[in-house]
Amino acid sequence: MKTDSRPIVFQNVTLIKMQLNIVKAQFRQALKNLERAPEEHKIEFMKEVGRILPAAVTVAQETRDPELEALIKKAEKTL
C-alpha cells in the first residue's frame, strides 16, 4: 500500500482551499440566480442561498477570505 509522502498539514491546507473555491463558486452562482430571479421565484433562490450560508460562514471563519466575507455580507443584506 502506497502512502502519501506529503505531511498531513499540507493535505489539510489543500482541502481547505478546495472547500473555499467550491463554496465561493456555489455562493456566487446562488446570489446571481437570486438577483436574476423573477419575484414569484425569489423565495426558492433565497432558500438556496440560506442552505449555502452556514457552510460559507464556517469556511470564512477558517480562512478569513475577503471575497467570501463580502459574499456573506451581500447575502445577509439580501435575505
In a domain, 35, yes or no: no
**CA 53, 58, 62, 66: dihedral to nearest 10 degrees?**
20
Distance (Å, whole) CA 30 – CA 36: 10
Residue 62 lies in a domain: yes
Name the one residue in this structure whose C-alpha cell is 506529503.
6
- Tell me whether residue 17 is in a domain: no
Domain assignment present for 75: yes
- pTM of the entire structure? 0.78
Domain assignment present for 70 = yes
**DSSP for residue 57:** H
Q: For residue 72, give its domain range.
A: 42-79
Q: Average pLDDT of the chain?
A: 87
Q: What is the pLDDT of residues 48-69, one digit of tens each?
A: 999 999 999 999 998 999 999 9
- Cα(28)–Cα(68) distance, integer angstroms: 9
Half-sphere exposure (Cβ direction) of 4: Cα atoms closer than 13 Å: 7
Domain count of the fold of the chain = 1
In-domain check, residue 25 = no
- Residue 79 inside a domain? The answer is yes
What's the pLDDT at 9?
59
9 found inside a domain: no
